[in-house]
Amino acid sequence: MSKAPDPTQPNLAQTTGPHVSIVETEDAVERRAKEAYFTASQSQLIWARFKKQKAALIAAYVLIFLVISGLFAPFLSPYDPTVAGRDKDYTNGAPQIPEFCDKNGCSIRPFIHPVERERSMA
């Protein structure tokens, strides 16, 4: 049982294949680009204009990075900000260098040694 060909669809056997050579002129390419512009959806037009501006693309990548790092903040942060026992007096303390290795070995995540204060009885 053979199906009748659809008259609205082109016969691909006649328009493509190893023996068919199609050469488009520059006018045809330009005309097709203009037709694509006028038949594009609103989102396609916005994306086409957005891609032309490199600063906007870089800003979009930075924004995506910040959102993703915010989603993974509990994994990236070494300390819980809501934990009891945090030293509130050392919030404006001197900066410390994050380290990756100590006497216990190395870690993928950087850490900072806690500040320990001792009073001398002398």
Residue-by-residue DSSP string for 9-76: S--HHHHSSTT------HHHHHHHHHHHHHH--HHHHHHHHHHT-HHHHHHHHHHHHHHHHHHTHHHH
Residue 73 confidence (pLDDT) above 60: yes
Paired tokens of 73: 């903040």
Number of domains in the chain: 1
Distance CA 112, CA 99 (A): 6
* pLDDT band of 111, cuts 50, 70, 90: low
Domain that holds residue 49: 19-83
pLDDT at position 91? 63
Examine residue 9 and state whether it is found in any structural domain, yes or no.
no
Give 41-50 pLDDT, tens digit per residue.
889 889 889 9
* pLDDT band of 58, cuts 50, 70, 90: very high
Examine residue 109 and state whether it is found in any structural domain, yes or no.
no
Examine residue 24 and state whether it is found in any structural domain, yes or no.
yes
Residue 34 confidence (pLDDT) above 60: yes
Examine residue 96 and state whether it is found in any structural domain, yes or no.
no
Indicate the pTM of the whole model. 0.40
Examine residue 101 and state whether it is found in any structural domain, yes or no.
no
Examine residue 3 and state whether it is found in any structural domain, yes or no.
no
* pLDDT band of 113, cuts 50, 70, 90: low
Examine residue 60 and state whether it is found in any structural domain, yes or no.
yes
Residue 9 confidence (pLDDT) above 60: no
Does residue 64 come out as left (phi exceeding 0), alpha (psi in the -120 to 50 range) or beta? alpha
Examine residue 45 and state whether it is found in any structural domain, yes or no.
yes
Q: What is the mean pLDDT of residues 83-111?
A: 70
